[in-house]
Structure 1
């Protein structure tokens, strides 16, 4: 006979008891909490999580809104060599005013943008440090599929350095990319394109150290030369809302880094560890090749720490480096030879930094393995969804013979089922849909970023008004 166990759970409310004394409550609840009585641990002032983070340990895409005066930086690619946990280098900077910027767009990094819930048509400004393919290899994909996925109303702008001669500059690279993508562009012209294929290039003189690359909406980005074996490599500094983020790109340690990155809130540089012989056996690169590559192109770990100690950032991070157990402790040891301040790896992929004027916090992003694309994001200030008419059609770019060989759909659809096929674009002009005429699901998903920007703009204005009011009150008291 089977034995039947029955558990009875008492779900009644707890019995009301006499409260403990204020002294006992304070002693118990404040136990283990500094509360100004001592400094807890070895963390630094201002390195702590913000109250609005959903998790202090991890960042989950789509769960947190950027606050009006916050910067969020996500490492979408972190290695010079592609492997499943590390795509080629790409750093994504989002600002509380709704602007976003891509610094380098290495091969494979687009997968992490998708996993992070970024719509490809949101990415309109790409800043390339130099023209090694591990820093711009995903640009063709971003351009083509960003246009296909709703990038119709604003062209992609690529910012990058000139070369010593024109054929080695960013403009020439983009012209070559246009030629490479000729078939793709023409084939995709049966879809809405609008301004999406009108890629723009902002090529600046690589010698113009401290020159302004971008200045708009309170954001200023400057550049300077980097020594990376060949002329035409640059570092960038983004400044907004009294804060700054530096990404040096690749290169040898330089006095120019000290000059232009000095005092950055978030200082990010590349790093290569001094383990040539061991890495030779692990990574399959001859020691002399590794040694020569670092000494002519890159920043050793000791130099990275030295630079940080001169620049004095609120947070120092290193990326464009292999993330391996045998390397990680060595990396910290080399950096700590000079820099004793806040330090974190900008690797592996998905590391996220949240920063305000008061706090900075680094977490690991939890990116899904099989994400789907986010809905295209549109600015609905005009109160409409505007879909451009495709510039061409299959009839114009494909001979009729091959279409005539297409199998009759009635032969493969099951009996009683036959969808209404769209073999031609359904309208003969631009499609203009008033916001009130859009399905609620489309309106909600496609306008999410627009609504957040509007919300933060209102909060920023409100905060500015409060600051002015407080200043007036202080002046009256004087």
Structure 2
């Protein structure tokens, strides 16, 4: 009996030690465990929970909080790798400002559903800034373009992106051809839905070699770019200045002198932090040679991320571009902490940051999987039915007669809305 009790005590102590270790190593929001535990205990002991009144939330619920006039809010809609997975889409960041402006940085593969979960009218999501042209950074642009137009974006999609070292490697070339690739999709909607959102991309292309160059300046917001080092000539990083706050999005880049200089003292600085080389070998099945090249030269190793943040000294450093799992997060955090001891968020999808001059609040968003598009901000425009492209006689000849079962729906809608619509 005594032996069993001793075993139970040992197991219990081991379990508690493991939980404390995991808390300290896997927390991606502040990188510290003792503070969180202390805050939790203090909160429980300082006031008695009411059985009828709502308690303060420790998560963000979309469409539930006002944004203060002097505040930024950042959402991570994609933080992962080129191979998207249910837990993590590829790079996508939404920055909201207290003046009403919203800016999208990258639209990586699998990320379109994440922005839908934020319940923001698509008419407000019309400004996209691409760091470079890898699919994990613009692979869902077509989904945002078509889906957004269908769901209420009643204006062209504006896109800013770098030139390449050749015209064929630039943003304008890529988007002109993406629009052409969507010809069948767009033509099939002509004369059926509001046409305004399906206009060609409005592309602003800029010199990727520009250092601290202004590419956007409207409504008190200034966005600058600096060169990034990744894969080929062409990638850039973005710096947003507004209302005395500074936000930096690095995109994909090897640590460089431009980021070290112009991201310095940012309120929030995002920089890639790639999977560790050992995990590249064991989990991605890379050869050691490829893992070293990709994990430390094409991308930024965790230790190098930490060194860069020690130079930049942001109020909040944000690491992304890795699969955040129970057995990968600890090693990444540990390697970062060999070179950086400041505030740190290890990003994951649906993480949210509220940024003001006095505070940076980090939370996870809780979302509705059954979300529908929010209401349009303007009244839809009736389509010009004459623009509809008809079926060929061959296809029309294959239609089965369903008019008798569909007509009651026409009768119902015509009566309710005072219309005189007829079946084809």
Task: Using structure 1 for the length normalisation, give the TM-score.
Answer: 0.72
User: What's the CA shift string for 1:131-176, capped at 9, x where partnerless?
Assistant: 0011000111111121222222x21111000000111100000111
Q: Partner residue of 1:407?
A: 400
Q: Partner residue of 1:353?
A: 353
User: What's the CA shift string for 1:370-424, capped at 9, x where partnerless?
Assistant: 322222233xxxxxx3515337544x342244235323224545xx94433889x
Q: Contact between 2:194 and 2:380, CA under 8 Å: does it hold in 1?
A: no
Q: Partner residue of 2:98?
A: 96
State the SS of the aligned residue for 1:79.
coil
User: Root-mean-square deviation (CA), in Å?
Assistant: 2.5
Greater Cα offset, 223-232 or 192-201:
192-201
Distance 2:165 2:246 in 1: 29
Task: Using structure 2 for the length normalisation, give the TM-score.
Answer: 0.81
User: What's the CA shift string for 1:185-230, capped at 9, x where partnerless?
Assistant: 1111222213641320000000111111110000000001111020
Which among 384, 394, 397 is matched to residue 390 of structure 1? 384
Distance 1:287 1:42 in 2: 39
Give the drift of 1:54.
Answer: 7.9
Distance 1:180 1:422 in 2: 35
State the SS of the aligned residue for 1:214.
strand
Which among 233, 249, 253 is matched to residue 231 of structure 1? 233
Q: Partner residue of 2:171?
A: 170
Higher Rg of the two aligned structures: 1
Structure 2 portions without partners, runs of 5+: 1-32, 37-53
State the SS of the aligned residue for 1:402.
helix
Q: Partner residue of 2:364?
A: 364
Q: Partner residue of 2:144?
A: 142
Q: Partner residue of 1:189?
A: 190
1:282 to 1:64, Cα distance in 2 relative to 1, 3 A: same
User: What's the CA shift string for 1:347-370, capped at 9, x where partnerless?
Assistant: 1x1000001111101001112333
1:55 to 1:427, Cα distance in 2 relative to 1, 3 A: farther
Q: Contact between 2:179 and 2:201, CA under 8 Å: does it hold in 1?
A: no
Q: Partner residue of 1:431?
A: none
State the SS of the aligned residue for 1:224.
strand
Give the drift of 1:288.
Answer: 2.4
Structure 1 portions without partners, runs of 5+: 1-39, 44-52, 379-384, 429-478
